[in-house]
């Protein structure tokens, strides 16, 4: 009913011009966006041969009358904005009035549309941009767009298409984005007459994620919420630390309901994950950012894939902080699950508010462990086995006061043994847990170091003999520049002539035998890291985690009582499940998985 207007030339020339239709996936994206804007509750997509031979999108949205249907095929005809000022506050996905005419000009195109209460609908057939047929159509209310033989009249662009498989995958990804962005809309996808998915409308993002990616993924996600100053709202889900992917395909970012790509947000996410993300891996995010439309410019990219923020710094900081806080919160949930008691402990229900962490050792495993440690000639003076068993080591004696942050649940797991002098085998309610001692130790040292740095500084221990050592000029330069950080970390290093340094103390808990050698290794490692990672991630934390890594390498293998303490300390960390470099510290193999492997369950 005359909703669509031609944009005045002046406005038309302001919308970011460019080719909207690059590939079948862009057709799908534009058509779905139109359906969403039309208020559809249900969108059905059908593709054949990677969308090259057919893309059909059917919606139950508001439809168009005949005049509007014809006008929708004109360039710069849109019902969504009227003036240049409207560009500041675009609330719809579309606003350029370019998609339909662009698509129709490079395909065999058919539009059928009908308004809800109209007696008849309209059918328009366009071939390579030329309108061939306009007639009454009798379809159900809503709009159906069929795009066949894409690029039949532009062979040059057809050549740029990839294999049907790749194009199909691009399309699927595009629909995933839309489906995640709009859980309240039902979606189906038929690919070459095979049903790929059928997603019912739902009220929550969580349900949509489960329907699309499975319950297993949803279980490993943590819910985000945070309101930053300046009214930046952040919601959605992110993968818990340790969950990552080799590609970016599950790193979804939405700004005001629009799926976008953003280097700024991507790096903010990385910054938020910091040590919880393995190098070269991508996080899983379903991140929704909502901000005042006036502070985002959506009119910067022809396919609206990018946006520009008025205050990029604030957005970056809000995202990074929200992710960081969410991960820390996720730790508690995770711990409760991880430490669910294997045996219902008798102490449960006592009034003690203090956390009870117990690592009980069952009798049958002890001799083995003892042998293991005896073999290394490191047998320690522990109470006899018999007395230790069933005597949960309560955390009270071990936790330093400020670290007693665990949840007041009786947490119990059993250490079974140590594999290959490296992996601690444990049992918890879920099944088997393997802990990488080195990774665990690194995580503990790192958090310790960071915590101390935040407090009064790291207590350092004087070396018996201070060491003087020389470094190549570039390395010396690096040390000079980072001297304050190193000192704050408890590394007593100072200049001692050109390219020469004196080191006379180290943090007490580092236990390094050759300090000069240790410093050289740390510097080497940081140099290679600084060339590959972004500036942002260098600095204190980066140095701290490198220091810890080398400290661990320099360490002796752990002895039995240390294994216990290690596990306890690990579980008290902020991010216990991965080392400061994002590698996992522990792996859970559930009983269900074991049952599957042994063919007890299918």
Q: Which is nearer to Mg ion, 101 or 582 (CB)?
A: 101
- Structural contact between residues 98 and 12, judged by C-beta atoms closer than 8 angstroms: no
Q: Which is nearer to ligand ADP, 40 or 547 (CB)?
A: 40
Q: Which positions from 18 through 77 interact with Mg ion, judged by CB under 5 A?
A: 34
Q: Which is nearer to ligand ADP, 23 or 550 (CB)?
A: 23
Q: Coil, strand or helix: which one is 546? A: helix
Residue 598: partners with Cβ closer than 8 Å, 6 or more residues away: none
Q: C-beta of 42: minimal distance to ligand ADP in Å?
A: 12
Interface pattern 67-106 for ligand ADP (x via CB under 6 A): -----x----xxxx-------------xxxxxxx------
Number of residues that bind ligand ADP (CB under 6 A): 24
Interacting partner of 4 out of ligand ADP, Mg ion, none (Cβ under 5 to 8 A depending on kind): ligand ADP
Q: Coil, strand or helix: which one is 456? A: coil
Cα separation of 64 and 503, whole Å? 78
Q: Which is nearer to ligand ADP, 30 or 172 (CB)?
A: 30
Contact with ligand ADP (CB under 6 A): which of 28, 54, 55, 59? 59
Q: Which is nearer to Mg ion, 50 or 94 (CB)?
A: 94
Contact with ligand ADP (CB under 6 A): which of 26, 34, 412, 460? 34
Query: How many CA atoms lie within 13 Å of 181's alpha carbon, on the beta-carbon side?
Result: 24
Q: C-beta of 298: minimal distance to Mg ion in Å?
A: 13
Contact with ligand ADP (CB under 6 A): which of 11, 28, 64, 542? 64
End-to-end CA distance of the chain: 58
Q: Which is nearer to ligand ADP, 96 or 568 (CB)?
A: 96
For every residue of 104-135, which 3-state class applies, written as one string? HHCCEEEEEEECCCCCCEEEEEEECCEEEEEE
227 has which bridge partners?
Answer: 233
290 has which bridge partners?
Answer: 233
Contact with ligand ADP (CB under 6 A): which of 112, 127, 143, 244? 143
Query: Which of these segments, 58-66, 263-271, 401-409, 484-492, binds ligand ADP (CB under 6 A)?
Result: 58-66
Backbone angles phi, psi at 194, to 5 degrees: -110, 135
Q: C-beta of 30: minimal distance to Mg ion in Å?
A: 5
Interacting partner of 170 out of Mg ion, ligand ADP, none (Cβ under 5 to 8 A depending on kind): none
Could you tell me whether strands 586-590 and 130-137 are parallel, antiparallel, or unpaired per DSSP bridges? unpaired
Residue 364: partners with Cβ closer than 8 Å, 6 or more residues away: none
Q: Which is nearer to ligand ADP, 27 or 265 (CB)?
A: 27
Q: Which is nearer to ligand ADP, 131 or 385 (CB)?
A: 131
Q: C-beta of 33: minimal distance to Mg ion in Å?
A: 5
Residue 147 binds to ligand ADP (criterion: CB under 6 A)? no
- Structural contact between residues 111 and 71, judged by C-beta atoms closer than 8 angstroms: no
Residue 94 binds to Mg ion (criterion: CB under 5 A)? yes
- Structural contact between residues 361 and 369, judged by C-beta atoms closer than 8 angstroms: yes
DSSP line for 429-473:
TTEEEEEEHHHHHHHHHHHHHHHHHHTT---EEEEEEEEEEE--H
Beta-strand ranges (E) seen in 128-275 are: 130-137, 142-148, 186-191, 194-199, 221-228, 232-239, 244-245, 251-255, 258-259
Separation of CA 410 from chain center: 31
Residue 35 binds to ligand ADP (criterion: CB under 6 A)? yes
Query: Which of these segments, 29-37, 148-156, 228-236, 509-517, binds ligand ADP (CB under 6 A)?
Result: 29-37
Cα separation of 339 and 570, whole Å? 12
Contact with Mg ion (CB under 5 A): which of 69, 99, 126, 199? 99
Interacting partner of 3 out of ligand ADP, Mg ion, none (Cβ under 5 to 8 A depending on kind): ligand ADP
Interacting partner of 61 out of Mg ion, ligand ADP, none (Cβ under 5 to 8 A depending on kind): ligand ADP
Q: C-beta of 126: minimal distance to ligand ADP in Å?
A: 13
Q: Which is nearer to ligand ADP, 29 or 581 (CB)?
A: 29
Residue 147: partners with Cβ closer than 8 Å, 6 or more residues away: 27, 31, 54, 55, 56, 103, 107, 108, 109
- Structural contact between residues 43 and 56, judged by C-beta atoms closer than 8 angstroms: no
DSSP category for residue 558: P
Q: C-beta of 41: minimal distance to ligand ADP in Å?
A: 13
Q: C-beta of 79: minimal distance to ligand ADP in Å?
A: 3
593 sits in the region (left: phi over 0; alpha: psi -120 to 50; else beta) called: alpha
Token pair 């939405």: residue: 254
122 has which bridge partners?
Answer: 113, 136
C-alpha closest to that of 134 among 143, 121, 125:
125
Q: Which is nearer to ligand ADP, 6 or 485 (CB)?
A: 6
Query: Which of these segments, 27-35, 426-434, 473-481, 519-527, binds ligand ADP (CB under 6 A)?
Result: 27-35
Q: Which is nearer to Mg ion, 94 or 181 (CB)?
A: 94
Interacting partner of 109 out of ligand ADP, Mg ion, none (Cβ under 5 to 8 A depending on kind): none
| Structure token digits, residue 99 | 């998609």
Which residue is closest to Mg ion by CB?
Answer: 94
Q: Which is nearer to Mg ion, 177 or 426 (CB)?
A: 177
Number of residues that bind Mg ion (CB under 5 A): 3
C-alpha closest to that of 102 among 184, 17, 8, 201:
17
| Structure token digits, residue 176 | 């995933």
Q: Which is nearer to ligand ADP, 20 or 543 (CB)?
A: 20
Q: C-beta of 116: minimal distance to ligand ADP in Å?
A: 11
Long-range contacts of 522-525 (CB under 8 A, 24+ apart): 522/546, 522/547, 522/550, 523/471, 523/475, 523/478, 523/479, 525/549, 525/550
Interacting partner of 59 out of Mg ion, ligand ADP, none (Cβ under 5 to 8 A depending on kind): ligand ADP
Q: C-beta of 137: minimal distance to ligand ADP in Å?
A: 14
- Interface positions with ligand ADP (CB under 6 A): 3-4, 30, 34-35, 38, 59, 61-64, 72, 77-80, 94-100, 143
- Interface positions with Mg ion (CB under 5 A): 34, 94, 99
């Amino acid at each position: 009913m005359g909703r669509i207007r031609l944009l005045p030339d002046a406005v038309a020339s302001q919308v970011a011009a460019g080719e909207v239709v690059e590939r079948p996936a862009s057709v799908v994206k534009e058509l779905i966006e139109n359906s969403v804007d039309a208020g559809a509750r249900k969108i059905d997509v059908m593709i054949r041969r990677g969308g090259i031979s057919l893309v059909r999108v059917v919606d139950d949205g508001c439809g168009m009358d005949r005049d509007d249907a014809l006008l929708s095929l004109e360039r710069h005809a849109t019902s969504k904005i009227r003036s240049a000022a409207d560009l500041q506050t675009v609330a719809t996905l579309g606003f350029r009035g370019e998609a339909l005419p662009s698509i129709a000009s490079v395909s065999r195109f058919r539009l059928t549309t009908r308004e809800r209460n109209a007696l008849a609908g309209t059918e328009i057939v366009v071939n390579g941009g030329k309108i061939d047929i306009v007639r009454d159509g009798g379809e159900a209310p809503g709009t159906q767009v069929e795009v066949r033989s894409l690029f039949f009249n532009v062979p040059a662009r057809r050549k740029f298409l990839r294999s049907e498989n790749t194009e199909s995958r691009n399309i699927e990804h595009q629909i995933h984005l839309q489906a995640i962005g709009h859980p309240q809309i039902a979606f189906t996808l038929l690919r070459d007459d095979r049903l790929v998915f059928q997603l019912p409308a739902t009220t929550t993002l969580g349900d949509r994620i489960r329907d699309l990616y499975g319950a297993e993924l949803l279980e490993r996600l943590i819910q985000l919420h945070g309101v930053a100053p300046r009214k930046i709202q952040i919601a959605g889900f992110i993968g818990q630390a340790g969950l990552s992917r080799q590609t970016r395909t599950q790193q979804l970012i939405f700004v005001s309901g629009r799926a976008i790509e953003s280097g700024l947000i991507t790096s903010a996410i990385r910054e938020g994950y910091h040590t919880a993300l393995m190098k070269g891996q991508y996080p899983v995010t379903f991140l929704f950012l909502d901000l005042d439309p006036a502070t985002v410019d959506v009119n910067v990219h022809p396919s609206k894939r990018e946006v520009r923020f008025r205050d990029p710094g604030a957005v970056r900081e809000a995202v990074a902080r929200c992710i960081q806080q969410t991960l820390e919160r996720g730790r508690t949930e995770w711990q409760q699950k991880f430490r669910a008691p294997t045996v219902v402990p008798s102490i449960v229900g006592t009034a003690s508010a203090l956390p009870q962490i117990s690592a009980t050792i069952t009798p049958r495993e002890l001799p083995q462990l003892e042998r293991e440690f005896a073999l290394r000639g490191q047998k320690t003076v522990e109470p006899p086995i018999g007395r230790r068993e069933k005597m949960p080591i309560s955390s009270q004696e071990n936790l330093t006061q400020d670290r007693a942050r665990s949840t007041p649940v009786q947490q119990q797991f059993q250490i079974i043994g140590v594999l290959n002098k490296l992996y601690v085998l444990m049992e918890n309610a879920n099944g088997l847990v393997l802990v990488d001692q080195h990774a665990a130790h690194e995580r503990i040292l790192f958090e310790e170091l960071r915590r101390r740095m935040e407090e009064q500084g790291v207590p350092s221990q004087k070396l018996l003999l201070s060491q003087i050592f020389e470094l190549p000029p570039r390395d010396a330069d690096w040390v000079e520049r980072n001297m304050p950080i190193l000192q704050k970390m408890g590394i007593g290093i100072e200049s001692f002539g050109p390219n020469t340094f004196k080191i006379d103390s180290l943090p007490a808990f580092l236990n390094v035998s050759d300090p000069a050698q240790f410093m050289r290794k740390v510097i080497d490692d940081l140099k290679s890291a600084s060339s590959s990672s972004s500036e942002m991630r260098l600095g204190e934390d980066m140095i701290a985690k490198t220091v810890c890594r080398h400290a661990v390498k320099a360490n002796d293998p752990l002895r039995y009582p240390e294994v216990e303490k290690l596990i306890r300390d690990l579980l008290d960390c902020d991010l216990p499940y991965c080392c400061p470099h994002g590698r996992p510290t522990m792996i859970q193999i559930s009983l269900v998985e074991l049952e599957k492997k042994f063919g007890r369950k299918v």
